[in-house]
Amino acid sequence: ADLPRTNLNKRDNRGFEVLLSHRNRVGEFAYDISPMFSWSRGKYVDLQEEISEDPEWNARYIQEGGWDDLRWGLTSDGFFMNQAQIDEHIVDQDQNGNTTIKVGDLIYNDINNDSIIDWHDEQVIGTNSLPNIMYSMNVGAEYRGFRLSMLWQGAADYTVVFSGSAAAPFSNESIPLIEHYNNRAIIGVDEEGNEYITNPDDFSLPNVTQNGRTQNNGKASDFWSYNAKFLRLKNMNISYSLPRSFVSRIGVTNCVVYLSGTNLLTFSNLGIWKNSFDPEIRGQNGRDYPPVKTVSFGLRLTI
């Protein structure tokens, strides 16, 4: 029989939001500004979960008393630059004597120094994909018929994880991005038939394989995770109202010329991906539409 659902667990979610507004006029110049800042986060107070006799397992998997948005994974430490480095590596990364490790694969830190890479070596590498911090600012200004309005908005303290075809070009017959091509490790073969990276000072991504990436590079790690933050000019509108003494001559009571845009500027810490991926999309799997910038202008008449 299925047991009935019961409220067994307790969570504590807290936060705050601050919104300030200021308006003023100096002669013919008027302006207004409204900044906003918010923070929120939750903890597990009581959680029904399995408890092990292994203190290391409990430290990794027990969630009670901790934040409810922690993301765990391995920490990376560069790449295997040649076959000799793989052969001499004393840490068993694939738990198969490193026989499946390829040149260009990621190196993971052996946190507990047992010469094996497994869950014992996982660390907190970020939070989940929902921002804990959000901020925005509305700005407006007006002077002799000119009007400017802007909305800046952003978020911080959340994790953007690259997965799918974003991290594995050619997976599911996907089309690679220019970032994959420009930043890939290029593999060559020396006179003895051993592979090595031919561009050691000019790459930041693993080499591209037929399926996009090796099993080793697909492990959850800080390499594919970004503790993200961004600031974006979401909307901007500039307009000018022609003097009524002028437009009344052509039988118009009001005439406004305007120029507006969306997503005109974005500042983010997504590194090489910032021009192809939207920081507001929390999980980058390569299937989402890239950030779109729009600019429009027009004429608004009142007869």
* pLDDT tens-digit readout, 123-140: 999 998 899 999 999 999
β-bridge pairing 146-162 and 283-284: parallel
Q: DSSP states of 46-113 as a string?
A: E------S-HHHHHHH--TTSBTTEEEEB-EEEE--BHHHHHH--SBSSSSTTTT--TTPEEE--TT-
Give me the pLDDT at residue 287, please: 73
Give me the pLDDT at residue 186, please: 94
Give me the pLDDT at residue 232, please: 95
Cα-to-chain-centroid distance, residue 284: 8
Query: Which residue ranges in the chain fall short of pLDDT 50?
Result: none
Q: How far apart are CA 32 and CA 30, in angstroms?
A: 7
Q: Name the residue with tokens 């729009």.
A: 294
Q: What angle do CA 185, 191, 194 make, to 5 degrees?
A: 50
Give me the pLDDT at residue 125, please: 95
Q: How far apart are CA 287 and CA 268, in angstroms?
A: 20
Give me the pLDDT at residue 283, please: 66
Give me the pLDDT at residue 34, please: 97
Give me the pLDDT at residue 64, please: 93
Q: pTM of the prediction?
A: 0.85
* Residue 271: both structure tokens together: 């590194």
* Residue 35: both structure tokens together: 């900044």
